[in-house]
Amino acid sequence: MKTEKKPIEWWRGCVIYQVYPRSFQDSNGDGIGDIIGITQRLPYLASLGVDVVWISPFFTSPMKDFGYDVSNYRDIDPIFGTLDDFDVLLAQAHKTGLKIMIDLVLSHSSDQHEWFRESRSSRNNDKAGWYVWADARPDGSPPNNWLSVFGGSAWQWDTRRRQYYLHNFLASQPDLNFHCPAVQDALLDVARFWLEHGVDGFRLDTINFYVHDAELRNNPALSAEKRNDSIAPIVNPYNYQHHLYSKNQPENLDFLKRFRTLLDAFGGPTSLGEVGDAQQGLELLGQYTAGNERIHMCYAFELLEPQPVTPSRIEQVFTRIDEVAADGWACWAFSNHDVKRHASRWQLSEAALRLHVLLLVCLRGSVCIYQGEELGLRESDVSFDDLQDPYGIEFWPEFKGRDGCRTPMVWDSSVDNAAFSSGKPWLPVCVEQQQRAVSTQEDDAGSMLNHYRNVIALRHRYTALATGDFEVVRADGSVLCFLRRSQNCRICCIFNMGDQVMEVNMPAGEWKSIGDTVDGVPLPKTGPLHLDPWQWAIAFEGANENG
């Protein structure tokens, strides 16, 4: 009897690098990054030691939300290139040993998509039920109290149907109706199209927004003490509701099972879901990644918050994961295209930045690094006149939007526009960032860039760091100590995340230092470990499966 071979779980513990294509590399001088530009920079990406390149959306789009409003899921927007360009990128990436993950936006489309154009044309066309439509209340107001993440009501009046349609984001991003089987089938066909092109996986945007409450019940209010700004800025009224009915519905699990079945039919592709929820993100992570019938990983927001990462916060998050997501798998990040860069968000010194990336790669889960993070880039200050992000324009100046983390990648400090483009960039190149360009760090063994390379290499060197168990030993004041365990070894990670000198006793064991390549403090022959501010020690015991 033939035994079915289990797919290799290459995604578990992998290191992902996020490319925001508009801002990575422009190859044709129009000021906007493109697919050929990404292909040109594949040697650099490979040199970092990352496993996967996640590319934010490049599909045909009116660009109201810069690609997260898709008008054609099966083609490339001309500003980014062509399908042939993408096929070349895939082939070249695979030759260099890199996998490619693309960003699928399934919860909503652009209002310019042919599906929506047909759906809004009448109440009885073939796609009339493909989006979330509802009649006005007797007084003409929206069907319920649901709010948009981008501000205001989540309902937009349409004069053609004389009904409201749901949009959890911009009014130009109508929500698809996942209660309609034909919608699910069409979206699975989209995924199949890209799998047949050879992609290695999908980052699934706003995965917990797919299904809405069919009864359109009002969301309850959220008490002031439970509000936080982890998903939306504090000035946004979105934080005033408990989004009980507008997202996070149990029927979502049925679609995720269908999606996983499709992935499994292709053998090895993976899935990474973005869970945007301020109250129960880890619980959803546990639900969505449990077992082998749903998605592989979830992209959590717990370490993307405005509040700094502290030892007690790490202990709190991982204790909660043990309670609600013990069978799940997280993907951790400190920065991305939607939040202020963590160097500025947490006001980190150079020493603290170095510690944070080492902490990130030592955590249990997969890891995502956002472009430019490896250079130690801080948030750009984009003036209102240069602002592109509709989110920032809406809430300026209390919230300046997302453009500050989306400014062009800085490659060469001696070239105009830091060698991002020969034309005027879509967002201005930050002068302060240009001083930290790749060209200034490449040959400096002690640079932030090479520190990132060393840290990523350390993770790949030890199975326990990539996929092992996790146990917090101490989270006391500024000191964080935890153990990673695989079948044959233990690794002890100790971090001083504060500005005071600390003395720490090592856990019992026959430890030897392995942190020399990442500037770790050597272990003392006797007595406690002495850690200056923002120093760390990494120690090993046992046999390493990775050699």
Planar angle of CA 213, 257, 319, nearest 5 degrees: 80
Question: Is the CATH code 3.50.50.60 the one for domain 470-542?
Answer: no
Which amino acid is it at 325? A
By three-state DSSP, how is residue 9 classified? coil
Q: Tell me if domain 15-106+181-458 and domain 470-542 are identical in fold.
A: no
| Structural domain boundaries in the chain | 15-106+181-458, 470-542
Instruction: Give one DSSP letter per residue of 461-484, joined into a string.
Output: H-HHHHH-EEEEEEEETTEEEEEE
Distance, in Å, from the CA atom of 122 to the CA atom of 108, rounded to the nearest integer, reads 19
Question: Is the CATH code 3.30.2270.10 the one for domain 15-106+181-458?
Answer: no
pLDDT in tens, the chain (547 residues): 444 445 679 999 999 999 999 999 999 999 999 999 999 999 999 999 999 999 999 999 999 999 999 999 999 999 999 999 999 999 999 999 999 999 999 999 999 999 999 999 999 999 999 999 999 999 999 999 999 999 999 999 999 999 999 999 999 999 999 999 999 999 999 999 999 999 999 999 999 999 999 999 999 999 998 898 888 888 999 999 999 999 999 999 999 999 999 999 999 899 999 999 988 999 999 999 999 999 999 987 899 999 999 999 999 999 999 999 999 999 999 999 999 999 999 999 999 999 999 999 999 999 999 999 999 999 999 999 999 999 999 999 999 999 999 999 999 999 999 999 999 999 999 999 999 999 999 999 999 999 999 999 999 999 999 999 999 999 999 999 999 999 989 999 999 999 999 999 999 999 999 999 999 999 998 899 999 999 999 999 998 766 4
Q: Which two tokens stand for residue 458?
A: 């350390």
Name the DSSP class of 423.
Answer: S
Angle between helices 281-289 and 252-265 (to 10 degrees): 40
- Could you tell me the strand order of the sheet in which 133-134 lies? 133-134, 163-166, 155-158
